[in-house]
Structure 1
Amino acid sequence: MSRLLHRDTVPPVPAAELTARSADGSRIHVELHGPEDAPAVVLAHGWTCNTRFWDAQIRDLAADHRVIAYDQRGHGLTPAPGPGGYSTHALADDLEAVLAATLAPGRRAVLAGHSMGGMTVMAAAARPGLREHAAAVLLCSTGSTRLAAEATVLPLRAGALRTRLTTAVLGAKAPLGPVNPVSRRILKYATMGAGSAPDRVDSCARIVHACPRRARVEWGHVLGELDLAAGVRELRVPTAVIAGTDDRLTPPVHARAIAAALPVGLGLTELAGVGHMTPMEAPEAVTARIRDLVTRYVATGAAAERKAVTAEKEDVA
């Protein structure tokens, strides 16, 4: 048991790391895990998180997938951005840069985005880079618009007052301070389900509290004004949606609206009792959905391509 716990607390060691250059010159830290020629998966984390947020998925998938995970600008090992600053346009630029730096022309992958990572995918939906490389998409615990209006983190009746106060919380400049029993309880209430295991709450708290204050504040302002409804309609690849029924930051109303508007929707999975941090709270369910998308849209496509090439060589012979 102790060996298993130790394994789950030590971050996965990447096979390689690289720096992608975004359109404004910003440096984006990227980790590469698993066999280089295996079916590819790209992971985009959410607000106040970093690549460690996906550790459970990386551990599982890297055995037989090429897993590409990167730190959003201002998070983790990615420094504060260049002139492009903080915007959904910049998120799309960064994702395109990561795809170009890690995938050969025409190579396709499953893209999984959690929270702001899902918004990143929606922001890039019409970009040539995404349309070239995205075979399928998984959107986890995310929304496309009206985040402050729909959030239920503050126990107030829906309306203008709650929206104003939630917007202020998203952009609050106060430091989060150290991880302690009080801060863990606050984070669990705001972002996780009541039944979340203490070790997962602790891991989540350490990730969130490690986020630089400037990045948290600047991205909080962006989220407060988010409108990516057009991006949902432009996401013309097979797309599945996952949400927790107890998500207070992006309640299931967002997931239902996205699932209904997707041009090639694969349905919505609602995880009972789970909060906003689905990849950490329900890692098995999220990983299984990614694997399913790879099997249906990447691995089968690669196998068909290999079969066609073999047949062509046999015809020539």
Structure 2
Amino acid sequence: MTVTDPHQTQQDSRATPFAPAWFTSALAAPVDIATVTVAGAHISYRAYGPSSRPGVVLVHGGAAHARWWDHIAPLLASDRRIAAIDLSGHGDSDWRSEYTLEVWAEEVMAVAADAGIDGPPVVVGHSMGGFVTWTVAERHGASLAGAITIDSPVHDLTPEQKAARERRAFGPAKVYPSREAAMARFRPVPAQDTTLPYVREHLAGTSIRRSSTGWSWKFDRRIFASPRMSRTVLKPLECRTALVRSGDGLVPASMGDMIHSRLGCATPLIEIPDAGHHVMLDRPLCLVTALRAVLAEWGDRADGPTRT
């Protein structure tokens, strides 16, 4: 399946800093902000839409945070409960002495239980968040309504870990003298020059915090020292699965086919053309369309995952 953008003309107007109405409306949507404690750490999340409804947990990538979904989650929440998590070491959640996919998976399940989602949740993960999503599905597949990954490449290292070890990003923690100076240094990793300016401005402003000495990024750099943040082995899961691939992202067509084969399910593979790895930054409405399509199909079907 290929998703094209019905608002492509609007989306390609990247020279203007002004945000379109759909974006400002999404940011103004009502949101519940809460925390849940998992293995001694306070885990923050943001929830949208009516409670006691079927729902979704959105999982960000490495060094990102829940606010990367601010303009996505409300567009999925008309009849669902949508929760966006800050994994430990990210955003407004506590930091840990060490990080594992397994602990992050338990954080996702705890948020799903606490956020007012009725019944088994769907878990959606981007990039490293996709590895967390697969881990959730392996450990709790029978308790999920589905698992969707967005441009999550199967490699020995995550894109963020690779950039850190090659010293292209995520070096020693920096403190900036002003909010403006910190925001000016915001860059997605891997680099992506197609980011919509109004999305970039919003994420830059929500990715930093003030301290007594200045402004710094919210994530813990120790996450990149963890030995296993990626996935090299996949196996059939006990829940429905779907894959979203960015046309200009990190999952080439051949890898998408390989992931599909390893999962062993009738897994829809959705391509978003002309999208970078961080698809919510340059083709957000296409991403919303793709997720809505999968959720609608699964909502209409009572059967479990179909084995091939």
Query: Is this a same-fold pair by TM over 0.5?
Result: yes
Match of 1:71 in 2: 86
Structure 1 distance, partners of 2:20, 2:196, is: 19
**1:167-198: CA deviation from partner (whole Å, max 9, x where unpaired):** 444652242853465x35xx268332x44332
Structure 1 distance, partners of 2:183, 2:66, is: 22
Residue type at the aligned position of 1:139: T
Structure 1 distance, partners of 2:95, 2:131, is: 19
**1:105-154: CA deviation from partner (whole Å, max 9, x where unpaired):** x81222111112111111222223x431x212211121232236xx6x9x
Match of 1:124 in 2: 136
Match of 1:262 in 2: 263
Match of 1:220 in 2: 224
> Which of the residues 59, 62, 68 maps onto 2:77?
62
> Which of the residues 133, 154, 162 maps onto 1:144?
154
> Is residue 44–residue 85 contact of structure 2 (8 Å, CA) maintained in 1?
yes
Residue type at the aligned position of 1:228: R
Give the CA deviation at 1:294: 2.1
Structure 1 distance, partners of 2:19, 2:230, is: 46
Match of 2:9 in 1: none
Structure 2 counterparts to residues 185-264 of structure 1, below 5 A: 187=187, 190-192=190-192, 194-208=193-207, 215-222=219-226, 225-230=228-233, 232-247=234-249, 250-252=250-252, 254-264=255-265
Structure 2 distance, partners of 1:96, 1:290, is: 20
Structure 2 counterparts to residues 43-122 of structure 1, below 5 A: 43-81=58-96, 85-102=98-115, 107-122=119-134
Structure 1 distance, partners of 2:157, 2:71, is: 27
Match of 2:30 in 1: 13
Match of 2:174 in 1: 175
Structure 1 position 42 matched with structure 2 position 51 = no
> Is residue 50–residue 70 contact of structure 1 (8 Å, CA) maintained in 2?
yes
> Is residue 62–residue 127 contact of structure 2 (8 Å, CA) maintained in 1?
yes
> Is residue 191–residue 277 contact of structure 1 (8 Å, CA) maintained in 2?
no
Gaps of 5+ in 2: 1-17, 210-214, 304-308
For the aligned residues, what is the CA RMSD? 3.4
**1:32-67: CA deviation from partner (whole Å, max 9, x where unpaired):** 211123331211111122221112222212222111
**1:228-265: CA deviation from partner (whole Å, max 9, x where unpaired):** 233x3143322111222323xx3436544323321224
Task: Tell me: CA distance 1:65–1:299, structure 2 relative to 1, closer, same or farther (3 Å).
Answer: farther
Residue type at the aligned position of 2:40: G
Task: Tell me: CA distance 1:29–1:9, structure 2 relative to 1, closer, same or farther (3 Å).
Answer: same
Task: Tell me: CA distance 1:227–1:57, structure 2 relative to 1, closer, same or farther (3 Å).
Answer: closer
Q: Which has the larger share of helix? A: 1
Structure 2 distance, partners of 1:287, 1:57, is: 6
Match of 2:4 in 1: none
Task: Tell me: CA distance 1:102–1:259, structure 2 relative to 1, closer, same or farther (3 Å).
Answer: same
Residue type at the aligned position of 1:141: D
> Is residue 50–residue 72 contact of structure 1 (8 Å, CA) maintained in 2?
yes
Structure 2 distance, partners of 1:246, 1:51, is: 24
Q: Percent identity?
A: 20
Structure 2 distance, partners of 1:56, 1:190, is: 21
Residue type at the aligned position of 1:12: A
Larger radius of gyration: 1
Structure 1 distance, partners of 2:163, 2:78, is: 46
Find the residue that maps to 2:82 and give its secondary structure: strand
